Amino acid sequence: MYLAHALSVAASGIFLPLYVFPAISGDPRACPAWTNVFDAISDNPSLPFYIVINPDSGPGAAGSQPSTSYQDCIPLLKAANVKLLGYVDTAEGGRAPSAIEADVTTCAGWESTYSMDGIFFDDVSGQEGDLSMYETWSTFAKDSINGGDGHSNPGDYPASGYFSIADFIVVVENFYDDFSTDDIVISSTEPASQQVVLLHDGPSSVPTAVVAELVGTDHLAAIYITSSPDYTSIDSDFDTLAATVASDE
């Protein structure tokens, strides 16, 4: 992932894969599905939010703009503590470079009112042999989004060289019940300040002890814990998760 400008704070934040269509049937200009996100952003102005925008398993057709619903709702996410990231799937390195570059270029070409601050590279292989390929894509994204920070999602700890081409790495993406805080590895080549944890199929209420360890003890870059299995809904207590992260950082 590449961000155009780094947040000025080093605090832990929320990393939200917002794979939720914002509108409702019959009212394409309303954004009710994102209301909990809007509220959390405004209620926690010092908490960094990194929000992945994914209109169509990517940005859509090459050179396109997102749908009217996204055009109307994305601007409501914009705030000083928010970075918006366009979704690009790399298929474990299996997609053609031209397809990945087309997705990056499409995201970079969205109009300024609903523009992205960066690119979220998903399904990253994390293998040492693919590092130079991902470095090329990361550089392309950085150039397309006017420079800045980089982030990738291998979903597990990658070869350590990936930390040198990305500011944030999703080091864990897993079922909540399969995760242990002992899974976190922190070292000089895998610093906590670059690590993101995403946990799905979680409990119905915020697991405060887990948040406290990941944020208050480990000082990870960002986390997200949800009861959703696929990030296509926002928990009713999302604001509580945000407030808990803010209080523990």
Summarize pLDDT for 153-163 with one digit per residue, the tens: 998 999 999 99
CATH number assigned to the domain comprising residue 41:
3.20.20.80
pLDDT in tens, 92-113: 999 999 999 999 999 999 999 9
Instruction: Assign 3-class secondary structure to the chain.
Output: CEECCCCCCCCCEEEEEECCCCCECCECCCCHHHHHHHHHHHHCCCCCEEEEECCCCCCCCCCCCCCHHHHHHHHHHCCCCEEEEEEEECHHHCCCHHHHHHHHHHHHCCCHHHCCCEEEEECCCCCHHHHHHHHHHHHHHHHHCCCCEEEECCCCCCCHHHHHCCCEEEEEEEEHHHCCHHHCCCCCCCCHHHEEEEEECCCCCCCHHHHHHHHHHCCCCEEEECCCCCCCCCCCCHHHHHHHHHHHC
pLDDT in tens, 169-228: 999 999 999 999 999 999 999 999 999 999 999 999 999 999 999 999 999 999 999 999
Query: Per the structure, how many domains does the chain have?
Result: 1
- Taking the model in full, what pTM does it have? 0.94
Q: Provide the residue range defining the domain that includes 240.
A: 2-248
